[in-house]
Chains A and B, each alone.
Chain A
């Protein structure tokens, strides 16, 4: 027998699919009303009863009998031909799907929510936008939100059952604590997901994307044909910005970049405030829960509350690479090392590993033992390992080494 909670989630999943598809069908000729929305509640009855019969019913005739009854009820419930047809079709689809599951003895499409099925709600939404079906737009949007949360809960429930099944024979497995803490974490993740769902659409991202696009167009046109007059600037200003305290009084006073930045800052501050509020609420819940759990030893374990760790001191271990070039030039020692490296790479057949000594590098590069080579070797060692700074003259010597052929032994 399937887990009860998963079964209930499955009902919701099947109902939401059937309801949104039915309502979509009703909205094909014109916008649907609240009565048709209420009609969708009917689907709960065939879903739950047919599922129950699928699990418990011994005779297939009982299933077919119940399916027939629901089809008749669906026809009876509809007020017009479209509604009647819709109710019958979707009741029939539900009955057929459960029947197929029963025959194949599997959990089919109506038993478990899947991510691709979000596409159904998205398509309904886009249809409603295109054909201006306001109620359908809202219904499909809310359905998408709830379906995503349902997916979250179902995945989590399945994972929890899997963990419990794998470890139930384990001695002192804290099943109730795992379930309780998992519930709490799921609660937090749900909050975070809802926050993400609310913040992103209302963060002005869409307007921001549109503004960026317009700015890009403006920049390109300016590059191609020079800065234009006020006409172009007026195009940039969206209408809702006139109400903002940061809106331009007259064209040319505040650049669009700055305006956008102020808009973004405003939204960020609101988001930060909301997140802080949420974090405070979450912390309060966890604190209450922890106090409730304190001292309750499960399976012989001793539970104690401890202090949170203080702010830790973090130290960078790897030295940061110095930024050179325009901002900071190489010093003499660095230049000597760079010239030396150039020489080695010039003669070496393979790239050095980086762990060799200068002697090994020169040997592998095949540089012959000459006085010039000894000289640059000494200069390099001084630059690389020495405490005494190198002079400009030594740097020049190293630079001039490029003219010497170290592959030949000069007699």
Chain B
């Protein structure tokens, strides 16, 4: 009888220990994942931090923490990631009682986008490393991968052209009631502009400079529609990169800039619209919106988007720069109209070298070709 009680006692003790372990292993156990920076640029590296915290006396000899993230965030093979439709990453920790473990994992941001991790999966073994116990832990972290910066030389040329167009627009639409400054007389300046008092003081003719009537707002119109069944993702990505580069350049010069696109926001599913503003926060807003454009979603025809927003552009006297690969008539006519009424517009065609540029330049609309290597 004693031997039976001994064995029964042993079995019961082990069973109760197992039950206690199963019920309490994930109490006061937290997993947090966060990216060191909230945004990185396409092609750059980032660091993700995993923190496992065990705030109880019961320790876990083996704890596996795993999560799923888009395959566009590339963890090297060393970092325990397997890639299929997504990247599945798992790490194993051995957590003592009342201990926090912090692990930093580098990754490469391969593609522009918005990436979220919402859940971490926890797996551990039973008290004698037998059996498996599973749990999930909600995690809330995200990362923006901004579009890659375009080549400086190519961008410089483009920005010079655009600056020229903007300056010309300002000169054409001067406001006689605003005073910007005084400069030396140049041949061709009208006589009624001469500032006689300044001329008397300096001894040479000086003329007044008037400010522009235009508000100085610029809107980037980003068209990511594919008219035919062929998908030109590379061209659209190039357009997004140009838009990002233009945003940085204009905001550096203090020009208010906004964004309108028929691309769908990956979070809300709505079309992208960022009102024109200047300032520090605007560049973040613009880059985040460009990152969230989901090219897999079917966009609306851009001429319809333009028609919806035309009145707003006219009211704000905004200078519109269209970035597109499409060249259909409705689009060209809409841009020409905007150019006529707002003192100019730009039609920037992002094309492969073999593609023909059919759009003709006019007084109201400047046409620029941006070649994208295949």
Contact = CB atoms under 8 A, between A and B. Distances in A.
Contacts of B116: none
Contacts of B55: 306-309
CB-CB nearest 4 A-B residue pairs: A196-B13, A200-B9, A159-B129, A177-B94
A182 B90 CA distance: 20
Interface stretch (B99-107, B241-249, B282-290, B366-374): B99-107
Contacts of B3: 121-122, 125-126, 140-141, 144
6 contacts: A193-B13, A193-B17, A201-B6, A290-B98, A307-B55, A308-B55
B108 interface: no
Contact of A286 (B28, B59, B78): B59
Contact of A144 (B7, B61, B103): B7
Interface string B84-103: 00000011111011111111
B129 A160 contact: yes
A198 interface: yes
A184 interface: yes
B192 interface: no
Interface of B: 1-14, 16-17, 28, 53-57, 59-62, 78-80, 90-94, 96-104, 125, 127-130
Contacts of B7: 118, 122, 144, 148, 197
Contact of B129 (A140, A156, A196, A198): A156
A342 to B, nearest CB: 41
Contacts of B101: 301-304
B13 A308 contact: no
Given A155-B128, A156-B129, 11 more contacts: A148-B10, A163-B125, A163-B129, A171-B80, A185-B61, A196-B13, A197-B10, A301-B102, A303-B100, A306-B98, A308-B98
B202 to A, nearest CB: 69
Contacts of B57: 283, 286, 308
A162 B126 CA distance: 14
Nearest to A198: B9
Contact of B99 (A118, A122, A180, A303): A303
Contacts of B103: 172, 300-302
B61 A197 contact: no
A207 B8 CA distance: 16
Nearest to B130: A159
Contact of B56 (A118, A140, A308): A308
A97 interface: no
Q: Is the interface of A mostly helix, strand, loop or mixed?
A: helix
Contact of B96 (A121, A145, A155, A293): A293
B56 A309 contact: yes
Given A144-B6, A170-B80, A290 B128 contact: no
A304 B52 CA distance: 10
B102 A193 contact: no
Contacts of B12: 196, 200
Contacts of A141: 2-3, 6
Nearest to B14: A193
A189 interface: yes
A206 B1 contact: yes
Contacts of B60: 181
Contacts of A189: 14, 17, 127-128
A306 B17 CA distance: 25
Contacts of B127: 185, 189
A197 B104 CA distance: 46
B95 to A, nearest CB: 8
Contacts of A152: 14, 128
B9 A185 contact: no
Interface core residue of A162, A185, A186, A198 (most chain B CB under 10 Å):
A185
Interface core residue of A145, A178, A300 (most chain B CB under 10 Å):
A178
A182 B61 contact: yes
A213 interface: no
A388 B6 CA distance: 63
A301 B216 CA distance: 53
A305 interface: yes
Interface string A301-322: 1111111110000000000000
B82 to A, nearest CB: 11
A307 B97 CA distance: 10
Interface string A343-354: 000000000000
A206 B5 contact: yes
A201 B127 CA distance: 25
Nearest to A286: B97
A57 interface: no
Interface in A353-383: none
Given A182-B61, A201-B2, A206-B1, A192 B14 contact: yes
A76 interface: no
Contact of A192 (B17, B56, B100): B17
A118 B56 CA distance: 36
A178 B99 contact: no
Nearest to A293: B96
Contacts of B92: 167, 170, 173-174, 178
Contacts of A205: 5
Contacts of A140: 3
Contacts of B14: 152, 189, 192-193, 196
Contacts of A159: 125, 128-130
B49 to A, nearest CB: 10
B75 to A, nearest CB: 10
Nearest to B62: A178
Interface core residue of B13, B79, B101, B104 (most chain A CB under 10 Å):
B13
A192 B90 CA distance: 33
Interface core residue of A122, A159, A171 (most chain B CB under 10 Å):
A171
Contacts of A198: 9
Contact of A309 (B28, B62, B79, B94): B28
